[in-house]
């Protein structure tokens, strides 16, 4: 954020001042043009509006000192004549409409390099131990739709990315063995190929983690889940080979302890499937859609702060006699949902406290299956 010096001291846009302002405009993505809502517009304001319009940058016309007038359009009417779109009324002093302004700014920011939310593809991959049933599930999922699938080379020589359109949505199923693969020679494949899997995970939005029920959740699976969380990816856990369960009763018993087994990744939803009986395979895609949608969800700052207030009303965090205060928090990014907390004492926000807020936000907003990132900043 660049706080420019403003202009108007000698009431003209002298050559030098104009150059400085132009410099600031050039390096900015968004410009907040702040005007005094209690003063008449001047010729200089129009002149400056003109410069901004010609810059082609995104401009928010902020009209300050609007306490008591936020919803009163008649006060804003004069500002519309500047030709910079809808004026945005705030009161800096009375802290009115500031969260909303922040949300507007964030929504106008250019996307970060890593997010592929722009290109409408939902990227997912089946990951998991060899023989857990990834290929079988893939075939059961899109087997009948092969005609509309195209294959492009994947991360490694024997993997392809499948581009698939289904129900009006576009998917890329990353690093699959392909649909027409020859019979494989299985050798020494007991171990999940971690390195390859990690490469795959970096490329996707949602991981479909396939777990062979006859093998269970082991160290390798946990490592992969940890990596999925670390990279901020969403995950659906698929317990495959349900047909091997002796009875429904035993499955129900197992279901009860799954959250325990998955700890600390129990926020990833799970389903039971059988690829060979085509049981529940049709649930996979709606889950992928849902998880994709949720990881891209944006919460207005005012709601975030209501949630934080509630989170702090239930418990206190302190260190050396100082109690944690969160002045405000805001969601700065999606995929994964990322927040910045402005607090009095960042040291109090240790791993466990951060985890507490993550968990709270997750349940408050129904954020299933996605990691949540929290950055902490000190505010005096
Ligand atoms: P991948 O290595 O993870 O792709 O696993 P595959 O799809 O090649 O499956 C490995 C073996 O497990 C094959 O013999 C499949 O027939 C078998 N399999 C896959 N899904 C199921 C299932 O739901 N139930 C049972 N009983 N066997 C399955």
Write down the pLDDT at residue 182: 47
Q: Are 77 and 104 in contact (CB under 8 A)?
A: no
Which residue's C-alpha comes closest to atom 6 of ligand 1?
133
Query: Ligand 1, residues 126, 128, 133: which to mutate, most atoms within 8 A of Cβ?
Result: 133
Write down the pLDDT at residue 159: 82
| Rounded distance between C-alpha atoms, residue 303 and residue 309, angstroms | 10
Write down the pLDDT at residue 119: 66
Q: Is the ipTM of this complex over 0.85?
A: yes
Look up the CATH number of domain 14-108: 3.40.50.300
Helix (H, G, I), strand (E, B) or coil at 368: coil
Distance in Å, CA 99 to ligand 1 centroid:
51
Sign of CA dihedral 107, 108, 114, 117: positive
Which residue's C-alpha comes closest to atom 25 of ligand 1?
241
Distance of CA 277 to the CA centre of its chain: 35
Is the CB of 135 within 6 Å of ligand 1? yes
Question: Do 14-108 and 121-295 have matching folds?
Answer: yes
Sign of CA dihedral 290, 291, 297, 302: positive
Return the C-alpha torsion angle 253, 259, 260, 266, nearest 10: 170
User: Angle at CA 265, nearest 5°, toward 260 and 270?
Assistant: 75
- 121-295 homologous superfamily: P-loop containing nucleotide triphosphate hydrolases (3.40.50.300)
Q: Which of 229, 242, 210 is nearest to 129 (CA)?
A: 210
CATH fold of 301-378 reads GMP Synthetase; Chain A, domain 3 (3.30.300)
Write down the pLDDT at residue 153: 78
Distance in Å, CA 179 to ligand 1 centroid:
15
Distance in Å, CA 131 to ligand 1 centroid:
5
Write down the pLDDT at residue 23: 85
Domain boundaries, the chain: 14-108, 121-295, 301-378
For the chain, what's the residue count? Answer: 380
Is the CB of 193 within 6 Å of ligand 1? no
Distance in Å, CA 136 to ligand 1 centroid:
6
319 sits in which H/E element: strand 318-319
Is the CB of 178 within 6 Å of ligand 1? no
Contacts of 226 (CB under 8 A, 6+ apart): 265
Write down the pLDDT at residue 113: 58
Write down the pLDDT at residue 189: 47
Write down the pLDDT at residue 186: 47
Mean pLDDT, 10 residues at a time, over the chain (380 residues)?
Answer: 70 68 88 95 90 92 94 90 94 93 87 61 94 92 71 77 89 79 47 76 96 92 94 97 93 94 96 96 97 96 95 92 94 95 95 95 96 93
Pairing of strands 87-89, 169-176: unpaired
């Amino acid at each position: 954020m660049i706080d420019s010096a403003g202009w108007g001291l000698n009431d003209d846009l002298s050559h030098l001042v104009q150059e400085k302002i132009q410099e600031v405009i050039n390096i900015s993505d968004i410009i907040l043009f702040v005007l005094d809502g209690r003063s008449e517009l001047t010729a200089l304001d129009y002149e400056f509006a003109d410069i901004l319009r010609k810059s082609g940058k995104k401009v928010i016309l902020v009209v300050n000192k609007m306490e008591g007038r936020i919803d009163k359009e008649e006060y804003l009417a004069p500002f519309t004549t500047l030709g910079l779109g809808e004026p945005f009324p705030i009161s800096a002093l009375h802290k009115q409409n500031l969260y909303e302004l922040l949300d507007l700014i964030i929504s106008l920011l250019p996307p970060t390099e890593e997010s592929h939310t722009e290109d409408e593809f939902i990227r997912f991959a089946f990951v998991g131990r060899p023989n857990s049933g990834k290929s079988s599930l893939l075939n059961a999922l899109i087997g009948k739709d092969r005609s509309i699938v195209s294959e492009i080379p994947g991360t490694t020589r024997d993997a392809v990315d499948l581009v698939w359109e289904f129900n009006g949505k576009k998917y890329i199923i990353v690093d699959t063995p392909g649909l027409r693969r020859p019979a494989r020679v299985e050798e020494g494949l007991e171990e999940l190929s971690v390195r390859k899997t990690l490469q795959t995970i970096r490329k996707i939005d949602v991981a479909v983690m396939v777990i062979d029920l006859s093998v269970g959740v082991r160290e390798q699976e946990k490592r992969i889940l940890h990596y999925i969380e670390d990279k901020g990816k969403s995950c659906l856990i698929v317990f495959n080979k349900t047909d091997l369960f002796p009875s429904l009763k035993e499955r129900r018993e197992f279901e009860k302890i799954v959250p325990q087994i998955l700890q600390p990744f129990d926020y990833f939803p799970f389903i039971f499937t059988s690829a060979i009986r085509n049981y529940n395979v049709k649930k996979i895609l709606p889950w992928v859609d849902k998880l994709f949608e949720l990881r891209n969800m944006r919460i207005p700052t005012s709601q975030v702060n209501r949630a934080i207030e509630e989170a702090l009303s239930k418990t206190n965090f302190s260190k050396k006699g100082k109690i944690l205060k969160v002045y405000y928090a805001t969601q700065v990014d999606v995929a994964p949902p990322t927040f910045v907390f402005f607090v009095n004492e960042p040291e109090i926000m240790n791993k466990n406290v951060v985890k507490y807020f993550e968990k709270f936000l997750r349940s408050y907003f129904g954020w299933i299956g996605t990691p949540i990132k929290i950055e902490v900043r000190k505010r005096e």
